[in-house]
Structure 1
């Protein structure tokens, strides 16, 4: 394999640094989707690259070489991937598998918890809690309504009638666009590719901006939407009784309120084809490098098969022979 095999790691780093900034300059709906698409492609290519690097070590094992009918010695002498890099890839793949499983379980548990709490609140789409605290959030569910909008009486007293319309439009946008799925995907991508550590926060901010823009369009008043957001955020900040309902719900008046208010006071975001093309170019580079690495790996295996000296014994016997050889090599290393 050539040095190009490591390109997905470079692309992931570039996307983690520049991706969120580029996405914020686009309409939030487009920015969210493009950023997630590019990040998902980077995560897949990084995992495939690690698999290819690990395979260069696994393919050299006598047992694997015997079953695959290729020369392990040829791969050992002609593969440019250093053994430490291949071993590190094996360990990294195992660690990422555990991290992804843990992140999936944690997210599913959080969603299950909030949905169970939503069922206790009642069957209505809008639930008003008789609480003085400043609370407003959306809880995604699997029913026809798509979720519950939960608002406290303290929040309703804080806002005017028009500002309440903004709040309800904002939370409705979260539910109708299933923003919890975008955030879940971002969390899982970051678990599978830790280089993209900035992705979950970026997607969280973009989905909030997406809901802000929907609320501004619904009320046809961007300044009203900005005022409602600022008033709710200020009241929530001053409310000492307020506690976070968890990362599986979609809250109003949180996550980068200052930037969101400034965006609402500005003009509607314009489409930026150049940024979209740049994000897609990064994704294409990662995909092409992985495809080229896979092609190189296939060529090496073909050459190793050509060097393989067929034995007049079956695969099972050859495997037994290689197993005995491997045991002898291990015993030799243990004694020395």
Structure 2
């Protein structure tokens, strides 16, 4: 089981108990609570606590590696308090409720013909009908990350987290606009409107889908399947058979493609950067020391892990 859907909060990871090695359906009426951090629906999922107790995050993460890396979350702007519950209800809704039974998050609307849920081994959590047709899937509602096999359609976007330790919506957006242009934007935090574009494909009228394929390539194509822009070239030819892949819009505004070995084979067992966007002209976050307004600085150094240094300024834009 490569992925699990779990609950978390902050950054102190608890050990997970052994679970079944094959994916199993999540039946209607099934639920998870914050009181038991050892249960989850794995590829099948569960509640997992991280951090100092400020709340819980309903999330999907890699389960077979030491770093339980999050790839999707539901309630990133509103952490669930202890005693909360997620349930796949009998009327066909996946619902997160607080200890008083108030809904904090729910997807989708009630589906009468819904039969089960499943945490697939590609990282996609699906709700399916009795004929196995997909009624809802987490792949269609990404947060800041995409995985092999995932597609971004027109008007789909990734929004960065606020910081490495704060999963709430941050300052940058990666969006395939309805006009076909794929753009990286600065977000006018704390508002949600975008302002400055700092990377574009100039594909207005032709861009149709961003595809992350099983060979580890990420590219923009038109409706006829013609390649318009190769976003990540996977020059090392590290396929998903030998490596775990993920691409994330990180809190510093860079879209990074990472890989992690499925076995040691002479490689270090850690996430390493395969590609950065922007690659040649990275941007850094510049923040006033009081935590106020943010702006870009277009010259910054790139560290050994190919992550840029964050430059702190006292100026406010």
TM-score of the pair, normalised by structure 2: 0.24
As a proportion of its length, which structure holds more helix? 1
Greater Rg over alpha carbons, structure: 1
Higher relative contact order (CA 8 A, sep 6+): 1
As a proportion of its length, which structure holds more strand? 2
TM-score of the pair, normalised by structure 1: 0.23
